[in-house]
Structure 1
C-alpha cells in the first residue's frame, strides 16, 4: 500500500511540476529574447533531467554502477520511444528545423562518444570531465546562436507572461517538485518491482529509468497540449544530451563508473532509436512526427522492454 501511495503521489507532483516548468521556461524565453527551442534544450531539459542526476550520483556513490548507467541509457530510450511516441499519438508533433540541423547531431555525437568510451569497461574521470565541458559548450553555443538568429531575422517574440524573477522562481520550484515527485515515483515503483524478483539491470533500464523520465513525459505532454511544440521536441533531445554529457559527465567526474556487459545492447537500442528519430523528423516528410510514427516508437519500446525482461 505504501509503494502504491508513493507511486500516485509522485505522478501527481510530476504532472503539476511539468505544467509550471513549461510556463516558466516559455516566459524565460520571452524575457531573454531567445526561442522556445533553445529554452527547451537548456533550461527545461536541465530541470527535467534533475531526477536522473540525483539517481545516478546516488547509485554511483553507493556502489550500484548498473543503476547509475542503466538509469541514463534507459531514460534516453524511454524519452525517444515512449514519451515522443505517446505525445505524437495524442497530437502529431511539428519539428523545428534547428532540431535537425543542430540539436540532433549533438545528441548523436554524445551517444557515439559514450559507446566508444565504454568499450574498455569503464567511463573514466577524464571522459566525464570532457563530457561535462562539452555540455557547457553546447548550452553556451545554443543561446548565442538563437540570439543571433532572432536578430538576423528580426523575429518579434510575444511578450513574457511573467517578469524574469518570477519565471526563474517557477522553473526552480517546479524543478524541485520534479525531483521530489520522481523520487517518490521511483521508490514506489522499485518497491513493487523488487517484489517481482527481477534483476538490478532490468529495474534500472525500465522502472527506474521510466520513473526518472516522467518529468520529460509530463513536460512534453503539457507542452504539446499548450501547442509549444518546440519545447516538446527540444526538451526530449536536450534531455538526452544533458543525460549523457551532464549526468554521466558529472557522475564519472565524481567517481569513475564500471560498465557491465549488459549495457552494450542498451546502447545499441539508444543509437538505433536516435537514427529512427532523425528519419521521422526529416524535412521532406513535412517536418512532422505523425500518429502512426508515434505508434512505431511505442511498439519499439514494448519490444525493448520484452527483451530486457525475457532474454
Structure 2
C-alpha cells in the first residue's frame, strides 16, 4: 500500500506541476508581469506551502528542530538537488534580474536568518532563538520585496509591449482558465507532496530507518518535491524563467514567509548543531550559486553535477554527524 501511495503522489505532482506552469504563464501575460516574477511570487508561494504547513505544525507541537530543519534542508535541496537535477534535464539560461536582484535577495534573507538565529536565548544554553518581532521583520521585508518585483516587472513589460506590437494579451476567458489551471496545479502539488511523503516515510520505517534520519532526509526532500517537479516541467516546456525564479523565490519564501510566520505563531528555538552545521551549509551553497549564475550564459549540466555532488556531500556529513542511538 505504501508503494501505491508513493506512486500516486508522484503522478499527482507531475500533473499538478504541468497545470501550475501553464496557469502561471497565462497569468503573467495577462497581468503584464514577467514569467520570472510569477515564478518568484505565485509559484514560489505555492510550492513553499508544504514547508509552511510542516513548520507551523512542528513549532506548535514544540518540535522546533523539525521546523528549522525542514526550511534549512529544503533551501539546500532547492539549490543543490532540485536545480542540479533540473539543469541535468535541460541547461538553463540565466536572466539578468536573477543575478542582480533575486540572488542578492536570497543571500540577504539567508544571512538575516542566520543573524536572527544566533541572537536571543532559547531553551538550550548554546543555541539561539528567533523571536516574534524578528518573524514580523522577515515577513514585512518579504511584502516590500514582492511589491518592488511587481512594480519593476510591470514597467519592464510595458516597455517591451510598446516595442513589440505582436505581443498577445490573453482574453478574460483565457485569464480565468489560467487561474483555474494555477489552482488545480497548487492543489495537485499539495496532495501529491502529502501522498509522496506519507508513502516514503512508511517505506523508510519498514526498512528500519530512524525517525530522526527520516526527518533530515525524506521530510526535507519531500517538501522540496513540488519545487523539483515544477522546475523540471518548466525547464522541459522552455519556461526557464519560471524554473529559476521558482527555486530562488522558494528559498526567499521559506525564510521570510515560513520562518517569519512560524516565529510569529511561536518563537523558534535554534540548537547549536543547526547554527554550526546546517545553516553554514545553507549559506555556503547560496554563495556557491553566484559563480554558476555569472560565469557563462547558462547553468550547464557540469554545474548541475557540481550542485548535485554538494547535496550528496551534505547528506553524508549529516548522517556521519548523528550520535549513535
- Inter-CA distance 308–236: structure 2 relative to 1 (3 Å threshold): same
Matched, 1:139 2:151: no
- TM-score by structure 2 length? 0.90
> 2:285: which partner in 1?
273
Conservation of the 8 A alpha-carbon contact between 1:72 and 1:209: yes
Conservation of the 8 A alpha-carbon contact between 1:75 and 1:205: no
- Inter-CA distance 271–70: structure 2 relative to 1 (3 Å threshold): same
> 1:229: which partner in 2?
240
Conservation of the 8 A alpha-carbon contact between 1:51 and 1:179: yes
Matched, 1:83 2:93: no
State how far apart, in whole Å, the 2-side matches of 1:58 and 1:241 are. Answer: 20
- The structural deviation recorded for 1:158 is 4.1
Q: How does 1:47-196 map to 2 (within 5 A)?
A: 47-120=46-119, 121-153=128-160, 154=162, 156=164, 157-160=167-170, 163-195=174-206, 196=208
Q: Give the stretch that moved more between structures: 228-237 or 63-72.
A: 63-72
State how far apart, in whole Å, the 1-side matches of 2:22 and 2:116 are. Answer: 37
Q: 2:302 aligns with which of 292, 296, 301?
A: 292
State how far apart, in whole Å, the 2-side matches of 1:253 and 1:230 are. Answer: 32
Q: CA RMSD in A?
A: 1.6
Alignment partner of 1:258: what SS?
strand
> 2:263: which partner in 1?
252
Q: 2:216 aligns with which of 198, 201, 205?
A: 205
Conservation of the 8 A alpha-carbon contact between 2:106 and 2:248: yes
Task: Specify every segment of 5 or more residues in structure 2 that has no aligned partner in the other structure, as ranges.
Answer: 120-127
State how far apart, in whole Å, the 1-side matches of 2:185 and 2:137 are. Answer: 29
- The structural deviation recorded for 1:278 is 0.9
Residues 185-219 of structure 1: CA deviation (Å, up to 9, x unaligned): 2222223334534352x433321111011110000
Conservation of the 8 A alpha-carbon contact between 2:32 and 2:158: no
- Inter-CA distance 205–158: structure 2 relative to 1 (3 Å threshold): farther
- Inter-CA distance 263–155: structure 2 relative to 1 (3 Å threshold): farther
> 1:37: which partner in 2?
36
- Inter-CA distance 40–293: structure 2 relative to 1 (3 Å threshold): same
- The structural deviation recorded for 1:287 is 2.5
Q: Give the stretch that moved more between structures: 125-134 or 255-264.
A: 255-264
Return the index of the structure with the highest Cα Rg.
Answer: 2
**How many equivalent pairs are there?**
307
Question: Moved runs in structure 1, 4+ residues, more than 6 A?
Answer: none
Alignment partner of 2:271: what SS?
coil
Residues 8-67 of structure 1: CA deviation (Å, up to 9, x unaligned): 221111111011000000100001011111111011111111111111111111222111
- TM-score by structure 1 length? 0.94
- Inter-CA distance 28–198: structure 2 relative to 1 (3 Å threshold): same
